[in-house]
């Protein structure tokens, strides 16, 4: 599937709703990982490896979900990687194990979708707009 902003926004909205999150609130990602029963291992990995996830649909009960995260990277980068991998676990149809390094300018449409999903999940447009005054939004002159 080629990246489509409207489809991604809908997927993010549904994911947030399914997990009891409003369309604008910040997400406590580690709490969300616990709620989703995703075993997450934070450990130092090589510089060019952000993280990975595995999904086992062959187990009884709920599928097993395992995620590994590079603890050498900044917290912001870790959060982006977690959100990126959530796309692979919950949105992507028939995910296959592969090395993922979000933000590396990948031409792979699935990786682009995962990056767009992560961006929208972590910084939803509605939430950003709520933080900016109406005057600044109207004049398109947003101050830092």
Mean pLDDT value of segment 120-136: 89
CA distance 120 to 61: 30
CA angle at 103 for the pair 100 and 106, rounded to the nearest 5°: 70
Per residue in 66-116, pLDDT (tens digit) is 777 788 888 888 899 999 999 999 999 887 776 666 556 668 899 999 999
> CB count, 10 Å around CB of 91?
19
C-alpha to C-alpha distances, 89 to 8, 38, 133, nearest whole angstrom: 15, 10, 36
C-beta separation of 15 from 86 below 8 A: yes
Would you say residue 8 has pLDDT above 60?
yes
pLDDT value of position 63 = 63
Alpha helices in the chain (DSSP H): 5-18, 29-35, 75-90, 109-122, 125-130, 134-139
Per residue in 29-78, pLDDT (tens digit) is 989 999 998 888 888 887 888 888 877 766 544 566 777 778 888 888 88
Per residue in 130-143, pLDDT (tens digit) is 888 999 989 988 88
C-beta separation of 53 from 84 below 8 A: no
Would you say residue 119 has pLDDT above 50?
yes
């Amino acid at each position: 599937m080629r990246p489509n902003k409207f489809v991604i926004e809908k997927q993010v909205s549904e994911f947030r709703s399914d997990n009891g999150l409003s369309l604008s609130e910040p997400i406590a990602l580690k709490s969300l990982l616990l709620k989703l029963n995703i075993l997450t291992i934070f450990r130092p990995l090589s510089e060019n490896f952000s993280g990975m996830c595995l999904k086992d649909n062959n187990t009884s009960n709920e599928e097993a979900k395992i995620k590994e995260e590079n603890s050498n990277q900044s917290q912001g980068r870790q959060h982006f990687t977690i959100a990126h991998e959530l796309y692979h676990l919950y949105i992507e149809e028939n995910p296959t194990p592969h090395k993922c390094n979000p933000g590396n300018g990948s031409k792979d449409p699935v990786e682009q979708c995962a990056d767009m999903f992560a961006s929208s999940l972590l910084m939803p447009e509605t939430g950003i707009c709520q933080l900016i005054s109406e005057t600044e939004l109207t004049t398109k002159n947003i101050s830092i």
